[in-house]
Amino acid sequence: MNTSARLMLAALTALGIAVLSGCANHPELRPYSAEESRQLQLEALQRQGLSLQAYEQRRLALLRAEQPQEVTDIPANARSTRG
């Protein structure tokens, strides 16, 4: 092989390595879904080494916090005018 072919091969190899290493270092970032966030919170709770009673209390509090709150409409004529 002549020197220009070796130089071209070295340049292409270096370019290929640079492109592949650049792609590997930048994972796609995205926000966690609600389900993933809940699962992460529960896993973190399991790793805290709490007593069974404390663990159950905190686990139930986490699960209750995720349940949607009921919203009721109050008719305009039922509102209190006292301040």
pLDDT per position as a tens digit, 12-41: 888 888 777 766 666 678 888 888 998 999
CA–CA separation, 46 vs 81, rounded Å? 49
Structural domain count of the chain? 1
CA distance 42 to 60: 10
Whether residue 5 is contained in a domain is answered as no
Specify which of 16-30, 40-54, 64-78 reaches the highest per-range mean pLDDT: 40-54
**Pairwise CA distance, residues 56 & 5, whole Å:** 69
- Flag whether 60 is in a domain: yes
| Domain carrying residue 55 | 32-65
Question: Could you give the C-alpha distances from 32 to 48, 58, 62, 81, in angstroms and in order?
Answer: 22, 21, 17, 44
